[in-house]
A and B are shown apart, each in its own frame.
Chain A
Amino acid sequence: MASKTGMWLFLFTEMLLFGGLFVVYSVYRYRNSVAFHLAANELSVFIGTINTIILLTSSTTIAMSITAMQKKNKKLSLILLGITIFLGLAFLVNKYFEWGAHIREHIYPGSSVLASRGQGDVLFYGLYFFMTGLHALHIIIGLVFIGIITGKIVRDKITFDNYVLHENSGLYWHLVDLIWIFLFPLFYLIT
Chain B
Amino acid sequence: MHIIPYRTFLYVLALLITLTLTSVAVTRIYLGTLTVAAALLIAVVKSSFVLRIFMHLKFENKIYTIAVIAVILILCLVIIITLLDYLYR
Which residues of A are at the interface with B, using a C-beta cutoff of 8 A? 8, 12, 15-16, 19-20, 22-23, 26-27, 30-31, 45, 49, 52-53, 56-57, 59-60, 63-64, 67-68, 70-71, 167, 170-171, 174-175, 177-178, 181-182, 184-186, 189-191
Contact A52 B20 (CB under 8 A): yes
Q: Which residues of A contact B4 (CB under 8 A)?
A: 63, 67
Q: B88 within 8 Å of A by Cβ? A: no
The CA-CA distance from A114 to B39 in the complex, in Å, is: 28
Among A60, A64, A70, the residue within 8 A (CB) of B1 is A70
The CA-CA distance from A59 to B56 in the complex, in Å, is: 12
Q: A49-B24, A185-B40 are in contact. Are A56 and B78 (CB under 8 A)?
A: no
Q: How large is the interface on B (under 10, 10 to 19, 20 to 34, 35 or more residues)?
A: 35 or more
Q: Which residues of A contact B67 (CB under 8 A)?
A: 8, 12
Q: A60-B13, A185-B42 are in contact. Are A178 and B86 (CB under 8 A)?
A: no
Contact B43 A185 (CB under 8 A): yes
Among A12, A57, A59, A189, the residue within 8 A (CB) of B27 is A189
Contact A26 B82 (CB under 8 A): yes
The CA-CA distance from A53 to B67 in the complex, in Å, is: 28
User: Whose C-beta in chain B lies nearest to the C-beta of A189?
Assistant: B27
Which B residues, 28 to 54, have Cβ-Cβ distances below 8 Å to chain A?
A: 35-36, 39-40, 42-43, 46-47, 50-51, 53-54
Contact A12 B20 (CB under 8 A): no
Q: Which residues of B contact A8 (CB under 8 A)?
A: 64, 67-68
Given contacts A49-B20, A177-B54, 9 further A-B pairs with CB under 8 A are A12-B71, A27-B82, A27-B86, A53-B17, A60-B54, A67-B6, A170-B54, A170-B55, A190-B39
The CA-CA distance from A8 to B3 in the complex, in Å, is: 20
Contact A23 B79 (CB under 8 A): yes
Q: Which residues of B contact A71 (CB under 8 A)?
A: 3
Q: Which residues of B contact A170 (CB under 8 A)?
A: 54-55
A-B contact list, 15 entries, CB within 8 Å: A12-B67, A15-B71, A23-B79, A59-B50, A63-B4, A64-B9, A67-B4, A70-B1, A167-B56, A181-B43, A185-B42, A185-B43, A189-B23, A189-B35, A190-B27
